Amino acid sequence: MGLELYLDLLSQPCRAVYIFAKKNGIPFKLCTTEVLKGQLQTKEFSKINMLRKIPVLKDGDFILTESSAILIYLSSKYQTADHWYPSDLQARARVHEYLGWHADCIRGTFGVPLWTQVIAPLTGTHVPEEKVERNKTAMDRALQQLEDKFLGDKAFLIGQQMSLADLMAFEELMQPVAVGYDLFEGRPKLAAWCERVEAFLGSDLFQETHGPILNILEQAVNKKFPKPSPEVYPLILLRISRIP
């Protein structure tokens, strides 16, 4: 039994893992696990991951969670090209520096627009305007720091080539973009970086990975997106209540 990846392509870290595996020709079985259909809440899934989160990697008996850990594991095990997770001491330190900052300032923040624009309305909940505004301010601040401190005048976040850091960042930024936010207005450096990442992925892989998330807003507006399963409602409400 080979490598299994438990993913939902609506999720930013899942897309990062999916893209990395595909781009590097890593053979795996895609175990699609849909959050809004309550598939994280099943007994079977809790045996895979008691934290009830995705992405999850299962490699024989070895089970691993957390997208950054999964990406690093895959890069080591499958000896992917050095630029993804450079062996140079300082370059590698920069990847970890980005991942640390990402966990505090990007993760959790850039996912909010999908919750407020699509998921909350689907469950009949409304997110207060002041929370939406606070989130916009937080995203704004993070984007400025991403552009000034991490990207600067480089082609990619760590140097002149694509790395795990770029993948993690890009997928988070895709989330608000998918629900119609223009993150790059007045940010030409970030816009150019975004284009470079897309070009690196190639349009086939890009379309394949981003199909679900890019279609979600249109589907929701046309009432073609299925309502979340009842067992997920309390979790959705909890998540929404935690929006600062």
Partner 1 sequence: MGLELYLDLLSASCRAVYIFARKNSIPFDFQFVDLLKGHHHSKEYIAINPLKKLPSLKDGKFVLSESVAILFYLCRKYSTPSHWYPPDLHTRARVDEFMAWQHTAIQLPMTKILWIKMLIPMITGEEVPAEKTEQMLAEVKNSMQLFEEKFLQDKMFITGDHISLADLVALVEMMQPMGSQYNVFLCSSKIAEWRMRVELAIGSGLFWEAHDRLMKLAEWDCSTLEPMVKEKICELLQKFK
- The stretch near partner 1 (CB under 8 A) out of 23-31, 70-78, 202-210, 216-224 is 70-78
DSSP output for 166-192: HHHHHHHHHHHHHTT----TT-HHHHH
Nearer to partner 1, 133 or 218 (CB): 133
State the Cα–Cα distance between residues 65 and 71, nearest whole angstrom: 10
Q: Is 47 in the site for partner 1 (CB under 8 A)?
A: no
Q: How far apart are the first and last CA of the chain?
A: 43
Choice from 29, 126, 149, 224 touching partner 1 (CB under 8 A)? 149
Q: Is 221 in the site for partner 1 (CB under 8 A)?
A: no
Q: Is 169 in the site for partner 1 (CB under 8 A)?
A: no
Structure tokens at 165: 């850091």
* Site map (CB under 8 A) of partner 1, residues 127-146, x = contact: ------------------x-
Q: Long-range contacts: 61-70, Cβ < 8 Å, 24+?
A: 67/13, 67/14, 67/16, 67/17, 67/168, 68/99, 68/103, 68/164, 68/168, 70/5, 70/17
Q: Is 77 in the site for partner 1 (CB under 8 A)?
A: yes
Minimum distance from CB of 95 to partner 1 (Å)? 8
Count of residues engaged in binding partner 1, rule: CB under 8 A: 31
Q: Is 180 in the site for partner 1 (CB under 8 A)?
A: no
CA 168 to each of CA 5, 16, 130: distance values in angstroms, whole numbers, following the listed order: 17, 6, 28
| Interface residue list for partner 1 (CB under 8 A) | 50-51, 62, 64-69, 72-73, 76-77, 89-90, 92-94, 96-97, 99-101, 103-104, 107-108, 145, 148-149, 244
